[in-house]
C-alpha cells in the first residue's frame, strides 16, 4: 500500500505491507500517523519528478495511528474547488494545503530577513502597547470598554506611531518592531482590520537615510528569499511628478503609456474643453485593440468622475475620433502617432490626471506578460493636507505627525493646503508598500497641525509633553508586511499570506466573530444597547 504522508516540509510516499502491518488498512485521509522505516530510492520508472521527495520512499516497518480525522469538509489538495468561506471556516485544514503552507513559510523567511538586516544595522526591537488611548491617526479606533473604570475606554493601537516617537525622545535612536496595527476602516477587498508592519523609527536622520536603509533592506530580502538582485537607488518622484507622468501616487512603472501634457499642442485651437488646468493624454498602442465601445464607456465613466468626458483620435489612413477635426499638419507632426495608435485625452483639474492614471492601469495590467520583475520607486513631497470629499474638512494626507517642508513653512500660518509634507511612500508595481515621514519634534508646529486638522491636542498630550523635553529630530517608515509578502510571493490576495485572516467584510469565519457577548459581560462593563439595537 502507498500512503502520502505530509509534514511541514513536504509529502513523502510511504510503502506499507498490510500483511505485516494490518493497521495500514485502517489509515484514512488526514489521519495523524507515525511511521518508522527505511528510506530507499524508488525503482527506476517509479520516480515522480513532480514531488520534491519523488526519488525516494519510506519502506515502513512500524506504523501507528496517533489520531483519526473526520472526513474533511473539502478535499485538502493544492487545487481546491471549495469556496473560500468554507476554507476560512476550517482554516487549519486549509493551511495544510501546500500553497498556504508555502506562503506561511515564505512569510517567515521575509520577516526573518527584515529582522536580520535591521539587527545588523544596530536597530533594537521594542514592543509597544496594543491597549492604548483613543488617538485617531486617520482611521476609526477599535474601542475597548474598561470594566474597572466604567464609561472609560481603551483603544487598540492603529500603529505604534506615537510610542515610537516617544522611544526616540527616550534616546533609543534606532527602533523597529514587527507591529500589529488595528484600524476600524470600511471593508475593502485588499484591506484587513488588522495588519502587520515592520515599524521603524530613527533619530538624527533625513529622507536620504530612510531611503538608503529601506533600499538596503529590500536588496537583502530579495537576495535571501528569492535570490534576486535589484538595482538601487530606487527612482524618486515628487507627488506632483508622479501625478503628471502616471496619474497616480503609486505608479506601476511596468505599464508604459506615460501621461503627457498636450496643452501646448492644442493651444492655438479654439477648443473650449481644452482651456483647462490640464490637458493630458496617453497613447494607447495599436496592439491593445481598443474598441469603440470601450472608448464610449470611458466617456461615460469620465462624466461620472466629474469630468467633461474623454477626447480621442486614432490614426489609420486618416485621423478618426472625436478630435479628428482639430488635427492639422502641424499638430499631426507633434502628436507623432503611429498607425492604429489612439491618443486619449482628458482635460480638467488633477481629477483628469487620476482618471487617465486609472485607464493606464486597467489597460496596461491586462497586457503584462512577465510579472516577475519588481519595480520599486519612491514618491515624496505629498501635500501635507487634503480636503476630505465627504466632510469638506482638512485632513492629513499621511498623518498629522509629518513635518512640513522647510520651504513651505511660510504657509504654516495662512495656507495649509499649499504646504508639502516631508512624507514618502515606497511603491512597487503599482502597490504602496510603505509610508513614512520626518516628524515634528517642535511642539509648536505639531500643535498648529492639530489645530488645522480639527484634532484636539488635549488627546495627544503624551506626545506633545514629551516634545518639550529635548526631543531629537526624528523620522521613520512602516513597510506593510502582509502586502510585501503577497507581492514577493506573486500572490493575489492578502488572505493568502495571513494565517488567520478576516473576510473582506471584516468577519472571522473560524472564530465566528464579531459575536454577541453574554448579558453578564455587558452588565460588568455597564453597557446597555438602545435605539436601533
Q: Which of the ranges 101-109, 292-300, 301-309, 434-442 carries the binding residues for ligand ASP, by CB under 6 A? A: 434-442
Nearer to ligand ASP, 161 or 313 (CB): 161
477 in contact with ligand ASP (CB under 6 A): yes
Q: What is the DSSP string of 380-418?
A: E--BSEEE-TTT--EEESS-TTBPBPGGGGGGTTT-GGG
Q: Which is nearer to ligand ASP, 248 or 402 (CB)?
A: 402
Spatial distance between the Cα atoms of 369 and 362, rounded to a whole number of angstroms: 14
Residue in 437, 434, 508, 482 with CA at minimum distance from that of residue 196: 482
Contact between 166 and 463 under an 8 Å Cβ cutoff? The reply is yes
161 vs 248 by CB, closer to ligand ASP? 161
In this chain, which of 165, 192, 435, 440 binds ligand ASP, going by CB under 6 A?
A: 435
- Interaction pattern, residues 44-83, with ligand ASP; x per rule: CB under 6 A: ----------------------------------------
* Grid cell 513614512 in the structure block, residue: 436
d(CA 527, CA 159): 27
Yes or no: say if 135 and 143 are a contact pair by the CB < 8 Å rule. no
The answer to the question of residue 128 lying near ligand ASP (CB under 6 A) is no
- The residue range among 56-64, 274-282, 433-441, 449-457 that interacts with ligand ASP, by the rule CB under 6 A, is 433-441
The dihedral sign for the CA sequence 21, 27, 30, 33 = negative
| Window contacting ligand ASP (CB under 6 A); options: 328-336, 374-382, 404-412, 430-438 | 430-438
Using the rule CB under 6 A, is 449 a contact of ligand ASP? no
Over the window 385 to 414, marking each residue x when it contacts ligand ASP by CB under 6 A and - when it does not, the resulting string is --------------x---------------
| Structural contact between residues 341 and 285, judged by C-beta atoms closer than 8 angstroms | yes
Figure out which of the listed residues 437, 449, 474, 502 binds ligand ASP, where binding follows CB under 6 A: 437
Binding-site residue total for ligand ASP (CB under 6 A)? 10
Distance CA 442, CA 467 (A): 6
Q: Which is nearer to ligand ASP, 200 or 259 (CB)?
A: 200
Q: Does 161 bind ligand ASP (CB under 6 A)?
A: yes
Q: What phi and psi values does residue 507 have, to the nearest 5 degrees?
A: -105, 150
User: Angle at which helices 207-221 and 98-120 pack, to 10 degrees?
Assistant: 140
Residue showing cell 483628469: 352
Q: Which stretch binds ligand ASP (CB under 6 A): 255-263, 264-272, 288-296, 431-439?
A: 431-439
Give CA–CA dist 55/40, Å, rounded. 9
Nearest to 347 by CA among 244, 274, 261, 266: 274
Smallest separation, CB 179 to ligand ASP (Å): 9
Q: Which stretch binds ligand ASP (CB under 6 A): 167-175, 229-237, 336-344, 429-437?
A: 429-437
Q: Are strands 153-156 and 143-145 parallel, antiparallel or unpaired?
A: antiparallel
Helix runs in 204-328, H state only: 207-221, 239-246, 292-304
Give the C-alpha separation, 348 to 273, whole Å.
8
Shortest Cβ distance from residue 224 to ligand ASP (Å)?
24
- Asked if residue 184 lies in contact with residue 142, where contact means CB atoms within 8 angstroms, the answer is yes
Nearer to ligand ASP, 135 or 221 (CB): 135
Task: Rule CB under 6 A: choose which of 396, 404, 476, 479 binds ligand ASP.
Answer: 476
CB of 253 to ligand ASP, least distance (A): 23
Query: Smallest gap, in angstroms, from Cβ of residue 137 to ligand ASP?
Result: 7
What's the closest the beta carbon of residue 394 comes to ligand ASP, in angstroms? 19
Q: Which of 159, 196, 313, 347 binds ligand ASP (CB under 6 A)?
A: 159
Q: Check: CB of residue 440 under 8 Å from CB of residue 449.
A: yes
Nearest to 507 by CA among 104, 187, 196: 187
Among 364, 436, 479, 501, binds ligand ASP (CB under 6 A): 436
The secondary structure of residue 9, as a DSSP letter, is: S
What one-character-per-residue DSSP string does 80-142 give? --S-HHHHHHTHHHHTTSHHHHHHHHHHHHHHHHHHHHHHHTT-EE----SEE----SSSPPP
Segment contacting ligand ASP by CB under 6 A, of 217-225, 410-418, 445-453, 471-479: 471-479
- Give the strands of the sheet with 236-238, arranged side by side: 124-125, 174-182, 194-203, 474-479, 431-438, 423-428, 376-380, 236-238
CB 445, min distance to ligand ASP, A: 16
Give min distance, CB of 182 to ligand ASP, in A: 11
Which CB sits closer to ligand ASP, 404 or 436? 436
Given the complex with ligand ASP, which of 197 and 429 has the nearer CB atom?
A: 197
Q: How far is the CB of 128 from ligand ASP (least distance, A)?
A: 11
Candidates 265, 478, 486, 498: give the one binding ligand ASP (CB under 6 A): 478
Residues from 179 through 198 that contact ligand ASP (CB under 6 A): 181
The tally of CA atoms less than 13 A away on the side-chain side of residue 143 is: 11
Closest approach of ligand ASP to the CB of residue 160, in Å: 7
Binding residues for ligand ASP, rule: CB under 6 A, are 159, 161, 181, 399, 435-437, 476-478
Amino acid at each position: 500500500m502507498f500512503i502520502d504522508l505530509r509534514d511541514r516540509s513536504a509529502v513523502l510516499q510511504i510503502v506499507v505491507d498490510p500483511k505485516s502491518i494490518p493497521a495500514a488498512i485502517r489509515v484514512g485521509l488526514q489521519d495523524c500517523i507515525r511511521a518508522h522505516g527505511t528510506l530507499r530510492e524508488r525503482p527506476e520508472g517509479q520516480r515522480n519528478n513532480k514531488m520534491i521527495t519523488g526519488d525516494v520512499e519510506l519502506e515502513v516497518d512500524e506504523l501507528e495511528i496517533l489520531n483519526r480525522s473526520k472526513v474533511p469538509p473539502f478535499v485538502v489538495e493544492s487545487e481546491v474547488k471549495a469556496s473560500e468561506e468554507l476554507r476560512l471556516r476550517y482554516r487549519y485544514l486549509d493551511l495544510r494545503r501546500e500553497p498556504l503552507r508555502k506562503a506561511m513559510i515564505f512569510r517567515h523567511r521575509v520577516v526573518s530577513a527584515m529582522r536580520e538586516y535591521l539587527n545588523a544595522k544596530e536597530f533594537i526591537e521594542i514592543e509597544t502597547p496594543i491597549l492604548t488611548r483613543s488617538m485617531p491617526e486617520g482611521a476609526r479606533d477599535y474601542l475597548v470598554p474598561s470594566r474597572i473604570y466604567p464609561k472609560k475606554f481603551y483603544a487598540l493601537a492603529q500603529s505604534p506611531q506615537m510610542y515610537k516617537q516617544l522611544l526616540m525622545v527616550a534616546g533609543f535612536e534606532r527602533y523597529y518592531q514587527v507591529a500589529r496595527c488595528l484600524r476600524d476602516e470600511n471593508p475593502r477587498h485588499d484591506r484587513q482590520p488588522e495588519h502587520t508592519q515592520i515599524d521603524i523609527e530613527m533619530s538624527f536622520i533625513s529622507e536620504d537615510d530612510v531611503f538608503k536603509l529601506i533600499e538596503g533592506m529590500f536588496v537583502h530580502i530579495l537576495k535571501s528569499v528569492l535570490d534576486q538582485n535589484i538595482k538601487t537607488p530606487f527612482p524618486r518622484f515628487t507627488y506632483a511628478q508622479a501625478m503628471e507622468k502616471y496619474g497616480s501616487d503609486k505608479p506601476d512603472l511596468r505599464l508604459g503609456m506615460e501621461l503627457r501634457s498636450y496643452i501646448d499642442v492644442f493651444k492655438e485651437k479654439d477648443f473650449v474643453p481644452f482651456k483647462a488646468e490640464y490637458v493630458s493624454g496617453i497613447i494607447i498602442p495599436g496592439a491593445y485593440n481598443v474598441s469603440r465601445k470601450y472608448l464610449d464607456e470611458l466617456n461615460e465613466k469620465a462624466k461620472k468622475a466629474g469630468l467633461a468626458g474623454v477626447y480621442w483620435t486614432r490614426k489609420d489612413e486618416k485621423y478618426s475620433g472625436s478630435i479628428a477635426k482639430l488635427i492639422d499638419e502641424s499638430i499631426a507632426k507633434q502628436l507623432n502617432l503611429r498607425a492604429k495608435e489612439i491618443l486619449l485625452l482628458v482635460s480638467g483639474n488633477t481629477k483628469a490626471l487620476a482618471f487617465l492614471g486609472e485607464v493606464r492601469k486597467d489597460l496596461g495590467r491586462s497586457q503584462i506578460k512577465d510579472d516577475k520583475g519588481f519595480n520599486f520607486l519612491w514618491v515624496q513631497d505629498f501635500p501635507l493636507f487634503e480636503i476630505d470629499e465627504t466632510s469638506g474638512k482638512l485632513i492629513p494626507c499621511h498623518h498629522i505627525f509629518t513635518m512640513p517642508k522647510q520651504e513651505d513653512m511660510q504657509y504654516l500660518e495662512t495656507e495649509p493646503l499649499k504646504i508639502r509634507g516631508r512624507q514618502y511612500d515606497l511603491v512597487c508595481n503599482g502597490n504602496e508598500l510603505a509610508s513614512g515621514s520626518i516628524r515634528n519634534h517642535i511642539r509648536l508646529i505639531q500643535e498648529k497641525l492639530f489645530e488645522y486638522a480639527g484634532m484636539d491636542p488635549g488627546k495627544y498630550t503624551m506626545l506633545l509633553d514629551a516634545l518639550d523635553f529635548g526631543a531629537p529630530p526624528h523620522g521613520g517608515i512602516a513597510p506593510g508586511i502582509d502586502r510585501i509578502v503577497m507581492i514577493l510571493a506573486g500572490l493575489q490576495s492578502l488572505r493568502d499570506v495571513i494565517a488567520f485572516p478576516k473576510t473582506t467584510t471584516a468577519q472571522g469565519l473560524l472564530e465566528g466573530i464579531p459575536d454577541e457577548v453574554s448579558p453578564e459581560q455587558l452588565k460588568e462593563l455597564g453597557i446597555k444597547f438602545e435605539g436601533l439595537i
